[in-house]
Structure 1
Amino acid sequence: MKSEFKVYDICEFSLDRQQDIIVSRFAVYLKNLKKLHFPHRHDFYHMILFTEGGGGFSIDFQNFKVQPYRMYFMAPGQVHGWDFEGDMDGYVINFSAQFFQSFLLKSDYLDQFYFLNGIAGDSVIDIVEEQRTSIINILENAVKEMEKQYRFKTDAIRVWILQLFLQIGNMNVRNEAHAADSYNMTLLRNFEKLIEKNYLNLRLPKQYAELLFITPNHLNALCNGTLGKSAGDLIRNRIALEAKRMLINFSLTVTEVAYALNFEDNSYFCKFFKKQTGVSPDGFRKHIHKDTD
């Protein structure tokens, strides 16, 4: 089995090895890439809008088809792979986690965009026909700014990217029926953020409900009504996802993964993982190994 799991830094995708922002047409980007190891992680935000090509891609072990005007967004740390078919084109944007920090007064400004939340199911968006021209124009302008050399180039690129986020955010792709209930949507997003920060130590819905100043029953009703999953399911799913991300690093033993995820008993971790995923940790590794040969 492979003994290492590649984590890519944004500089590895940059021609001058120094940039913390890359905006390019996708065909040009692919041509300049050296062979990538799949699956892999990024330590930066990564997004692609496809305009041509086929095949598929995966985000955190969920598979999606490539099709024109399908866009995906990835947050740092997510696991990624692709298997393209035919001539690929579109647009790609990579930016570091620090790229907007000095530009925006609110350090958590990007958190309001659901497609940047690191949840695979929320991060793949089909651009509707009436939005395509304006989104392509935004991306074309960002590409042109990338090719220029002047004082405010980087800030101009930031503005175009933010305009892209605002337009996609206003499409209300996620749960349109619930979008009007801003209070509950805010609660749900805060719950998701708390899970992201605390899943290693907090495993019970009542612990999160206490942090949100609501009852466990309210939290469960919110999750079931909006996502069709219980609060406990969301917590367990996040733990299982991190287990998958760690298990594809074959240099770690299953026991080391279990302890890193705060399971004191290796057998309990194996039972938990199989219940959540349907396969044992070793079975999952064999499947990944077969797919990457």
Structure 2
Amino acid sequence: MQRKAKHIPVYDICALQDNSGSLHDDLIIEPFGAYLKRHPHLTVPHRHSFYHMLLFTKGKGMHTIDFEQFPVAKGQIYFMAPGQVHSWQFEGETDGFVLNFSEHFLSSFLKNDRYTDQFTFLDGIAANAVLQLKGQVYEETKALMGKILEEAEQKQPLAMDVIRICLLQLFITVSRSEGSPHIQQSQQHNIVTLRNFRRLVEQHFATLKLPKDYAAMLYITPNHLNALCKDQLGKQAGEIIRDRILLEAKRLLVNRDMQIASIAYDLNFTDNSYFTKFFKKLTGITPEQFRKAIMDHNSKS
């Protein structure tokens, strides 16, 4: 259910299920038009505690993931990881397929619980999460969504396993459409190291803010970590850490009831002044100005 805590509203998967008796507590699959009618409040910024994906079959307008805006279009699919913030501003009738699933839904089925790490659209980075499907790829993806919906509605034996297989097939189909190059054996270790670095940043960004802290946990030197980040991501390790702190600050600022001094405290800044300087240096505006801009935008939506 919705939690009215000090942070932006967070929805658990059970809060979004209908009353018809769900096939599984860890899964929701539904035509998006019906889903949107049942949950009109989801147009305002909020978070999920589960994975969320949506394939548009019609619609116009904009949607926002972690404060990056994307235009809605037929054939677009987006993926969101738990904790990301998003909102919608649609124009006219919008439809498609929405699928929500818990972190446990696939991990309980796969022998390798890191299998889905290879799909960059699930990594929680907005720029990687929104894809435009065309032609046969769009038709195949739409058909897979339809098959998942059919299995969920009919509730046949082993339906959950069929759904999991279809979902993995969907991931592979979308990933192949992006033309991801084959990773050479010599590069695999570096990619695993970077994934572990991002995972550690996600866990510790509020308390560990220096590359050397993460390098120590990865058993590499800070220079090596910086070189990997620069080569693969185009940024220094310190930038990756600062970007994650900034993103969390923006997420917290969406809640108008949370004092900025409290946000600074939650993110382990020594005082509100230091937090404001940090935020303005990276964005060009103060936390107060950012919050006002978000509130003004939401009031016009």
The answer, yes or no, to whether TM exceeds 0.5 is yes
3-state DSSP of counterpart to 1:99? helix
Unpaired stretches in structure 2, ≥5 consecutive residues = 1-5
Q: What residue number does 2:141 align with?
A: 135
3-state DSSP of counterpart to 2:42? coil
Shift of 1:284: 1.0
Q: Deviations over 1:233-281 (max 9, x none)?
A: 1110000101111111222211111111111222111111111222111
Q: Where do 4+ consecutive residues of structure 1 move more than 4 Å?
A: none
Q: What residue number does 1:215 align with?
A: 221
- TM-score, scaled relative to structure 2: 0.88
Q: Is the 8 A contact 2:59 2:92 kept in 1?
A: yes
Shift of 1:30: 2.2
Q: What residue number does 2:95 align with?
A: 89
- TM-score, scaled relative to structure 1: 0.90
Shift of 1:100: 2.5
Q: Is the 8 A contact 2:7 2:258 kept in 1?
A: no
* Inter-partner Cα distance in structure 1 for 2:177 and 2:271: 46
* Inter-partner Cα distance in structure 2 for 1:241 and 1:44: 19
* Inter-partner Cα distance in structure 1 for 2:34 and 2:258: 36
The answer to whether the aligner puts 1:9 opposite 2:12 as a matched pair is yes
- Which of 61, 72, 75 aligns to 1:69? It is 75
Q: Which residue identity lines up with residue 169 of structure 2 in the other structure?
A: Q
Q: What residue number does 1:58 align with?
A: 64
Shift of 1:211: 2.3
* Inter-partner Cα distance in structure 2 for 1:166 and 1:36: 29
Shift of 1:20: 2.5
Q: Is the 8 A contact 1:53 1:86 kept in 2?
A: yes
3-state DSSP of counterpart to 1:68? coil
- Which of 165, 175, 200 aligns to 1:169? It is 175
Shift of 1:291: 1.1
* Inter-partner Cα distance in structure 2 for 1:249 and 1:90: 30
Shift of 1:92: 1.1
Q: Which residue identity lines up with residue 103 of structure 2 in the other structure?
A: A
Question: In the superposition, relative to structure 1, how do residues 171 and 209 fare at CA in structure 2: closer, same or farther (>3 Å)?
Answer: farther
* Inter-partner Cα distance in structure 2 for 1:102 and 1:227: 31
- Which of 265, 270, 280 aligns to 1:274? It is 280
Unpaired stretches in structure 1, ≥5 consecutive residues = none
Q: Which residue identity lines up with residue 16 of structure 2 in the other structure?
A: F
Q: Is the 8 A contact 2:29 2:152 kept in 1?
A: yes
Q: Which residue identity lines up with residue 5 of structure 1 in the other structure?
A: I
3-state DSSP of counterpart to 2:110? coil
User: Aligned-pair RMSD on alpha carbons?
Assistant: 2.1
Q: What residue number does 1:36 align with?
A: 42
Q: How many residues align?
A: 289
